[in-house]
Structure 1
């Protein structure tokens, strides 16, 4: 089982057989400057929940799923929302990587295409009932278009179920 450490708001692990195996499946990002693999918060929670990772604090205390979640919640108020979306996408066999910012949270690769093609989707997770302005949607769509990605809005409902909506710009001037 992979052992990682939460240090300076980063979850990192030394490169070993298990880490290399997970890297090939799209988990973690190698930081070659320091020789470590860095995991995003939702990624680490998922690996802990599925029994593939153990996370230790800087003091050496093992953080189970609930302790890790509580610790990460202090660093990122949206961790639960992001984790629910990350877990749902992983359970649907997508490779999920960090997105371009806190709103366009994830880049998602087509099934079986990780490492061969760039990500196809940018995913913006939101909680059910949260208002999103038209201007914000246009901003997200513009960012996705510039990056040649499709925008997907992931709405997390009160039962922690995720509903996905593809968003696109439609030009009706020539209709």
Structure 2
């Protein structure tokens, strides 16, 4: 076993990433600048993170967690609360400052995309899948065969409205529509091809 991670340094790194995003935008989040702000070295930072996307994934996980799905005891309420949390996520200044640049990096590099998915998206999707399974266990819906499709139905419209504000606001109407769409899919099942 190696040396345990330094929690104080992890906190300093997350704070540095957020500070740079808020002050100067996504392009400012570099290994050199994060290391300087966090009071560490480039070498120490590279031991933890292979680059900017890994830094961002770690900072988002630290700030927002990787288990967003609530357990209210009722699927509609769970989905509504999940969507409210997602709206808060997308409206957070840290996310707003970095999302366009991050999506640009992710769409241009499959390795970075896979790294971000594993570090941030996959755990959050597993949380949502667990929420669906609780609803199955309660008898609210049949077994879910394509949980990622339902997750995409929940998140995709919100992301569209963030990236193209002219499509409309992230509001209760959008939340209700995505919840209704997800409930329809979960109740009817997602058909193959």
TM-score (normalizing by structure 1): 0.30
TM-score (normalizing by structure 2): 0.28
More helix by share: 2
More strand by share: 1
Q: Comparing both chains, which one has the higher relative contact order based on Cα–Cα distances under 8 Å and sequence gaps of 6 or more?
A: 2
Which is higher, the Rg of structure 1 or of structure 2? 2
